[in-house]
Every structure is written in structure tokens, then in C-alpha cells.
Amino acid sequence: MKIACDATLYRQLNATVGQRPRGRQPYGSRWSALHGEAYRMWLSSGDEPAETPAFGMRALMVLEDDDDKAGAACAQLWRLALRHLTWREVDVLRFRYIHDLTLKETGARMLVTQERVRQIEVKALGVLQRLANRHVNP
């Protein structure tokens, strides 16, 4: 399975700056502009969730252009992110940004409060922000 993170996708994700953020968002990096539709597009731009055997977490894999060096770098970043996100964080991002569920609906599915869902979401977005700061155009 391949991962799509070429320059075009990156430009599309950054083009969402004008959208209204949902809840708290990480600020101070390129990823700070990526919310709402951008995360949905990024997370859902590929196949069904796949098992990552090393960590047993459900991961979302997306397509990649073989010839694109940026795609390979972003594929590496995505694999790195999967190592740092727990299954709960992956599920919260999937429910919130792919399925567009509210905090309350997500909490009901995961059997936690909506405040806990918000906390998990903020933590997961923070992990993605730190990884992007470290590994995207250092």
C-alpha cells in the first residue's frame, strides 16, 4: 500500500486556511492550518483502514506517487505518525474528520465523555504538529 503526500496534496491541505477551525487546534506550524475538510481529505484519501502488525493499531493508508520524492518523505512521516498515535487517537481523528461526527457522537461510540474525546483529539493533533515540525522541511 502506498501513501499520497505529494506537493499537490500538501498545497491543497494548506489552502484550507480560511475554514473555521473545529475545537482547539494546534498553532505555530504548517499543520495549524489543516483542520476540518483538510484532515478529512488527508485521512480518507485512500483505502480502508489496515492493521499495522507492529503496533496492532488501526491505521489509515493512502496512495503515493512512486516517482515523487516528497511523497516518499511524507510516507515516511505518516508511518512515523502511526508509531506515535495510539489506536484511540487514530479512531478519534477518523470519527471527527472522516465521518464528521460531533464530540458527543464520537464519545458515545468510544464510551468516553465528549471532554475526553476533545482531549484525545488535541493530543493527536499535537503529535502530528510536532512530527511535521521535525520532519517537514527542517
pLDDT digits (tens, 9 = 90+) for 101-120: 999 999 999 999 999 999 99
Residue 1 domain-assigned (yes or no): no
Mean pLDDT of the chain: 64
Contact present, 112 and 86 (Cβ < 8 Å): no
CA distances from 118 to 21, 42, 105, 125 (A): 13, 20, 12, 11
Residue 2 domain-assigned (yes or no): no
Residue 24 domain-assigned (yes or no): yes
- pLDDT band of residue 6 (cuts 50, 70, 90) is very low
Residue 65 domain-assigned (yes or no): yes
Give pLDDT tens digits for 23-54: 444 444 344 444 444 555 555 554 334 333 33
Start-to-end CA distance of the chain, whole Å, equals 26
One-letter amino acid of 36: G
Report the CATH number at residue 84. 1.20.140
Q: Measured between alpha carbons, how far is 4 from 91 in angstroms, rounded to an integer?
A: 20
Domain span holding position 127: 7-135
Count: domains in the chain:
1
Residue 109 domain-assigned (yes or no): yes
Query: Residue 70 pLDDT more than 90?
Result: no
